[in-house]
């Protein structure tokens, strides 16, 4: 038996440490450890509830809009808002849709693809593409820094020169598409990152005809890339060289999947582009987000928190302690009805399959599962890509609706006449963020926030053990995974990255005595 420690897991957002116990070449136990503390909830206590939208967005540079959205909904619920102006709902969907279309190819090409490609074969490239020739030269002279370090390629790494060259070209195009998607979102929400349009009660900007036209033309570019490059590449790899890995148990975890419902199609709280549901042990047990919310708890048995175990998010405290011998993570352990739940694209599509959603992307994943693809590492990439097709279709539909409402004379984007934060109340906001189910819980007293709690997508997936000793979803997905070479744990990073974890919704916590603080002199002034 041996211990393998990967710290930090590179090419994810934020700092995550994975420890694995390997017995006879297979992981027999695993520990997922978030090594940063967040603390943003504590900053919100005593503040105007409307501040939460902007403050919580600063958790992260990727999923900020999801936090703003969840926060606005939580404060709206506390106020008693039942219905938003339809234009506001459409614009929120379009802003967030653009953020998702930025995020998905980023994860596949820039964070994950190097787990599956042997870039060294590019030293044999004989073509004329100037970018590839430049990369060839960087590889030849040992300067390919941005594309390295990487693990030693194993049997699942693609070594076919043409295929690797094609994927690297897509990698470079995806960099440009990130900028296009960001620009698209900024047209509707002021700026990127950290949007400034979604506020409690609605949105702040009704885009004019020119802005709507610009948004649509950028959407055309991104949609073309999503359909013809990104999804095509994922399908090409997943059903070709990676099919063996896709049919293996690598990365298969609990058969527990959760989705709060993503992108509302109306104000009922039940009708979403990505349908809501909880699957436990392979069976769909709940479809109502309101019912799901009541069964959410967070354990802190193995987390560096002082507070009591297993409470509902409304009742959670946010006080840290490092003086807890068994604790190993700054992440709490969220549970649904006591169960660890996988969240994210695969969970959403498994719920969509269980709810018999008719989109062709859902049908494609159903077919792959029928052909023996398991709900593991490769399936997570496939689901993330297929889901992008659903978002693209939704965005064209919401844009059409926006145009027709505006043509009918609708201009209402905010319930300005009636919307004031309440003196007291409490509310929760559930949304789907790119990485999975995200919830904010707000308690308001004397017109300020008395308590604020966030259960973030990655907290579900990367959670530590709970009071019952149940491991978190990433830990479970690692157990049983082959690590034939202890010095090259490539399967560990493949499995972890397939969840697209983001620990960056956090800030560094330094220990006042054991952490080394470096003093830097800048132009004569001193900074710590």
Judged by CB under 6 A, which stretch of 197-205, 388-396, 409-417, 434-442 contacts ligand NFE? Answer: 434-442
Residue closest to 346 by CA, chosen among 285, 272, 256, 264:
256
Is the backbone peptide bond immediately before 182 cis, with ω within 30 degrees of 0? Answer: no
Smallest separation (angstroms) from ligand NFE to the CB of 463:
12
Residues linked to residue 445 through DSSP beta bridges, in sequence order:
448
Nearer to ligand NFE, 62 or 177 (CB): 62
DSSP state of 226: I
Ranges within 455-494 binding ligand NFE (CB under 6 A): 456-458
Nearer to ligand NFE, 174 or 502 (CB): 502
Smallest separation (angstroms) from ligand NFE to the CB of 83:
25
- Angstrom distance (rounded) from CA 256 to CA 174: 32
When asked if residue 351 is in the footprint of ligand NFE (CB under 6 A), the reply is no
Smallest separation (angstroms) from ligand NFE to the CB of 335:
17
When asked if residue 16 is in the footprint of ligand NFE (CB under 6 A), the reply is no
49 Cβ neighbours under 8 A, 6+ residues apart: 75, 78, 200, 421, 442, 444, 447, 448, 449
Smallest separation (angstroms) from ligand NFE to the CB of 505:
4
Smallest separation (angstroms) from ligand NFE to the CB of 427:
18
Nearer to ligand NFE, 359 or 435 (CB): 435
DSSP state of 37: B
When asked if residue 199 is in the footprint of ligand NFE (CB under 6 A), the reply is no
When asked if residue 12 is in the footprint of ligand NFE (CB under 6 A), the reply is no
Smallest separation (angstroms) from ligand NFE to the CB of 457:
3
Contacts of 57-60 with C-beta under 8 Å, sequence gap 24+, read: 57/194, 57/195, 58/194, 59/454, 59/456, 59/504, 59/505, 59/506, 60/13, 60/502, 60/504, 60/505
Smallest separation (angstroms) from ligand NFE to the CB of 507:
12
- Angstrom distance (rounded) from CA 248 to CA 224: 32
Q: Select from 434, 464, 473, 489 the one that contacts ligand NFE (CB under 6 A).
A: 434
Residue that the structure tokens 């907290």 belong to: 459
Q: Select from 9, 12, 13, 452 the one that contacts ligand NFE (CB under 6 A).
A: 13
When asked if residue 279 is in the footprint of ligand NFE (CB under 6 A), the reply is no
Q: Select from 102, 359, 414, 435 the one that contacts ligand NFE (CB under 6 A).
A: 435
Residue closest to 376 by CA, chosen among 221, 498, 515, 285:
498
- Angstrom distance (rounded) from CA 121 to CA 164: 8
When asked if residue 102 is in the footprint of ligand NFE (CB under 6 A), the reply is no
- Angstrom distance (rounded) from CA 349 to CA 346: 5
When asked if residue 192 is in the footprint of ligand NFE (CB under 6 A), the reply is no
Smallest separation (angstroms) from ligand NFE to the CB of 524:
37
Ranges within 215-234 binding ligand NFE (CB under 6 A): none
Tell me how far CA of residue 495 lies from CA of 245, 289, 372, 487, in angstroms: 11, 28, 18, 17
- 409 phi-psi bin (left φ>0, alpha ψ -120 to 50, beta other): left
Nearer to ligand NFE, 258 or 505 (CB): 505
Judged by CB under 6 A, which stretch of 126-134, 144-152, 329-337, 429-437 contacts ligand NFE? Answer: 429-437
Ranges within 35-74 binding ligand NFE (CB under 6 A): 60, 62-63, 66
Q: How many residues bind ligand NFE (CB under 6 A)?
A: 15
Q: Select from 87, 164, 390, 504 the one that contacts ligand NFE (CB under 6 A).
A: 504
Smallest separation (angstroms) from ligand NFE to the CB of 155:
31
Nearer to ligand NFE, 40 or 449 (CB): 40
Smallest separation (angstroms) from ligand NFE to the CB of 3:
27
Smallest separation (angstroms) from ligand NFE to the CB of 436:
6
When asked if residue 505 is in the footprint of ligand NFE (CB under 6 A), the reply is yes
Q: What is the DSSP string of 506-527?
A: SB----TTTSPPPPEEETTEEE
- Angstrom distance (rounded) from CA 102 to CA 175: 10
**Contact call for residues 247 and 372 (beta carbons, < 8 A):** yes
Ranges within 438-457 binding ligand NFE (CB under 6 A): 438, 456-457
Ranges within 238-277 binding ligand NFE (CB under 6 A): none
CA 213 to the chain's CA centroid: 29
Smallest separation (angstroms) from ligand NFE to the CB of 414:
24
**Contact call for residues 250 and 494 (beta carbons, < 8 A):** yes
**Count of helices and strands (H, E) across the chain:** 16, 17
Judged by CB under 6 A, which stretch of 133-141, 198-206, 232-240, 497-505 contacts ligand NFE? Answer: 497-505
Smallest separation (angstroms) from ligand NFE to the CB of 430:
11
Nearer to ligand NFE, 331 or 392 (CB): 331
Residue that the structure tokens 């047990």 belong to: 285
Three-state DSSP at 293 gives: helix
Tokens at 489, concatenated = 């744990």
When asked if residue 502 is in the footprint of ligand NFE (CB under 6 A), the reply is yes
192 Cβ neighbours under 8 A, 6+ residues apart: 99, 182, 183, 185, 186
Nearer to ligand NFE, 62 or 198 (CB): 62
When asked if residue 433 is in the footprint of ligand NFE (CB under 6 A), the reply is yes
Nearer to ligand NFE, 60 or 139 (CB): 60
Tell me how far CA of residue 207 lies from CA of 131, 389, 406, 484, in angstroms: 38, 25, 10, 55
Instruction: List residues binding ligand NFE (CB under 6 A).
Output: 13, 60, 62-63, 66, 433-435, 438, 456-458, 502, 504-505
């Amino acid at each position: 038996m041996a211990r393998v420690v990967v710290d930090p897991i590179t090419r994810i957002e934020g700092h995550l440490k994975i420890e694995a116990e390997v017995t006879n070449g297979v992981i027999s136990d695993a520990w997922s450890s978030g090594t940063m503390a967040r603390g943003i909830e504590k900053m919100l206590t005593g503040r105007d509830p409307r501040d939460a939208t902007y403050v919580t967005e600063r958790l992260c540079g990727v999923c900020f809009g999801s936090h703003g959205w969840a926060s606005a909904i939580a404060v709206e619920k506390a106020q008693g808002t039942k219905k938003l102006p339809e234009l506001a709902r459409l614009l929120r969907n379009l802003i967030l849709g653009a953020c998702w279309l930025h995020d998905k190819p980023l994860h596949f090409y820039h964070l994950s693809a190097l787990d599956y490609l042997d870039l060294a074969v590019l030293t044999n490239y004989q073509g004329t593409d100037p970018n590839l020739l430049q990369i060839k030269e960087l590889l030849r002279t040992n300067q390919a820094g941005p594309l390295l370090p990487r693990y030693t390629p194993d049997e699942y790494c693609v070594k076919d020169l043409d295929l690797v060259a094609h994927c690297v070209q897509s990698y470079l195009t995806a960099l440009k598409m990130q900028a296009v998607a960001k620009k698209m979102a900024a047209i509707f929400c002021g700026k990127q990152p950290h949007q400034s349009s979604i506020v409690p009660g609605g949105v702040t900007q009704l885009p004019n005809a020119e802005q709507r036209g610009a948004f649509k033309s950028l959407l055309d570019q991104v949609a073309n890339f999503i359909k013809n490059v990104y999804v095509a590449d994922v399908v090409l790899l997943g059903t070709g060289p990676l099919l063996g890995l896709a049919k293996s148990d690598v990365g298969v975890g609990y058969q527990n999947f959760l989705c709060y419902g993503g992108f509302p199609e109306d104000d009922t709280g039940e009708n979403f582009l990505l349908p809501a549901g909880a699957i436990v042990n392979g069976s769909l047990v709940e479809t109502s987000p309101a019912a799901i919310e009541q069964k959410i708890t967070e354990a802190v048995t193995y987390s560096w928190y002082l507070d009591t175990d297993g409470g509902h998010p409304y009742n959670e405290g946010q006080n840290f302690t490092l003086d807890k011998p068994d604790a190993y993570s700054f992440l709490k352990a969220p549970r649904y009805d006591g169960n660890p739940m996988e969240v994210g694209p695969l969970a959403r599509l498994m719920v969509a399959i269980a709810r018999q959603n008719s989109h062709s992307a859902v049908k494609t994943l159903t077919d792959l599962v029928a052909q023996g693809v398991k709900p593991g590492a490769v399936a997570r990439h496939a689901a993330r890509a297929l889901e992008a097709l659903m978002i693209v279709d939704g965005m064209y539909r919401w844009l059409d609706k926006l145009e027709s409402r505006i043509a009918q004379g609708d201009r209402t984007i905010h319930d300005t006449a009636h919307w004031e934060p309440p003196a007291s109340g409490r509310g929760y906001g559930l949304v789907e963020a790119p990485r999975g189910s995200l919830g904010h819980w707000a308690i308001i007293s004397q017109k300020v926030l008395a308590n604020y709690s966030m259960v973030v997508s990655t907290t579900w997936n990367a959670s530590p053990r709970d009071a019952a000793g149940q491991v978190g979803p990433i830990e479970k997905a690692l157990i049983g995974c082959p690590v034939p070479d202890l010095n090259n744990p490539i399967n560990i990073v493949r499995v972890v990255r397939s969840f697209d974890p983001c620990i960056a919704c956090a800030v560094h916590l330094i220990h006042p005595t054991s952490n080394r603080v470096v003093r830097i002199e800048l132009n004569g002034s001193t900074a710590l």
